[in-house]
Amino acid sequence: MLKIGSYSFKSRLLLGTGKYPDFDIQKQAVDVSDTDILTFAVRRMNIFEASQPNFLEKLDLERYTLLPNTAGAKTAEEAVRIAKLAKASGLCDMIKVEVIGCWKTLLPDPVETLKATEELLKEGFTVLPYTSDDVVLARKLEELGSHAIMPGASPIGSGQGIINELNLSFIIDQANVPVIVDAGIGSPADATKAMELGADGVLLNTAVSDAKDPVKMAHAMKLAIEAGRLGYEAGRIEKKSYASASSPTEGMSVN
């Protein structure tokens, strides 16, 4: 079970809802992924305008917990405003804080992320900040009271996979709240790697939405995350410098 604040989830895959070729493919991919949590940018929702197209319209929203995110925010103030708008429109009190500090790399602004997180925690939100793989910043976000930490594997939409495995494992080792690896996952192997490192979950979008076959890739990601988690729980073997026979001959009379 993945526990975030007062919420519990069966699946450890958090899926984004944007960029799919069409809404039918989006629905099929979401269904087959078996995710419990769907994230979406609040600014893309026409929350107060029912006549506008709704990009979640094909999805059976009863089945999922919706995790609104503050994508598009450049400052803490904007992120807080977006989060409040989401809550006021009846969405759950969970919020993924995303404050972008650089539009070329889409890397988060650490100072504004801290400020927004602090403010939203004071307001009673369940807060999941998206952060870089900075170990100290991750610790500070946890100390503020964040309910989960979401370090990026690599820049959003880059599909580069895990750039700094060491930092990610430091973040995972020091954390006492769930660590969800968010952004930059390119393939099922990347997702498995994150889970094998001990991440509690993976949030991804582009690797599925932009795949040649998004539905098949959503299925692959589900299996990859399950496999990575199982492998982590099972405990991998130590790496040795030298060989060690797989069929030991010790105690056997062999020539």
Ligand X SMILES: CC(=O)[C@@H](O)[C@H](O)COP(=O)(O)O
* Binding-site entries for 1-deoxy-D-xylulose 5-phosphate: 157, 183-184, 205-206
Q: Output the smallest distance, CB 2 to ligand X, in A.
A: 17
| Residue number with CB closer to ligand X (172 or 206) | 206
Stretch of 53-61, 173-181, 202-210, 232-240 lying at the interface with ligand X (CB under 6 A): 202-210
Site for ligand X contains 70 (CB under 6 A): no
Site for ligand X contains 182 (CB under 6 A): yes
Whole-angstrom CA distances from 225 to 13, 89, 238 are 7, 32, 22
Return left, alpha or beta for 67; rule: phi > 0 is left, psi -120 to 50 is alpha, else beta.
Answer: beta
| Cα dihedral 15/20/26/30 (nearest 10) | -20
Site for ligand X contains 71 (CB under 6 A): yes
Residues 62 and 27: their CA atoms lie apart, in Å, by 13
Site for ligand X contains 205 (CB under 6 A): yes
Q: Judged by CB under 6 A, which of 185, 195, 199, 221 binds ligand X? A: 185
Active site residue 87: no
Stretch of 47-55, 80-88, 118-126, 205-213 lying at the interface with ligand X (CB under 6 A): 205-213
At residue 170, what is the residue type?
F
Angle at alpha carbon of residue 96, lines to 94 and 97, rounded to 5° = 125
Burial readout 154-179 (b: 16 or more C-beta within 10 A, e: otherwise): bbbbbbebbebeebbbbbbeebebbb
Site for ligand X contains 184 (CB under 6 A): yes
173 within 8 A of 206, measured Cβ to Cβ = no
| Residue number with CB closer to ligand X (80 or 162) | 162
Q: Judged by CB under 6 A, which of 11, 26, 39, 126 binds ligand X? A: 39
Phi, psi of 92 (to 5 degrees): -70, 170
- Nearest residue to 96 via CA among 211, 205, 217: 205
Q: Which of 87, 96, 115, 222 is catalytic?
A: 96
Give the x/- contact pattern for ligand X in 80-109, rule: CB under 6 A: ------------------x-----------
Q: Output the smallest distance, CB 207 to ligand X, in A.
A: 6
Residues 187 and 225: their CA atoms lie apart, in Å, by 11
Stretch of 28-36, 56-64, 197-205, 219-227 lying at the interface with ligand X (CB under 6 A): 197-205
Instruction: Using CB under 6 A, count the residues that bind ligand X.
Output: 16
By three-state DSSP, how is residue 148 classified? coil
Residue nearest to ligand X (CB): 16
Chain positions contacting ligand X, by CB under 6 A: 16, 39, 69, 71, 98, 156-157, 182-185, 203-207
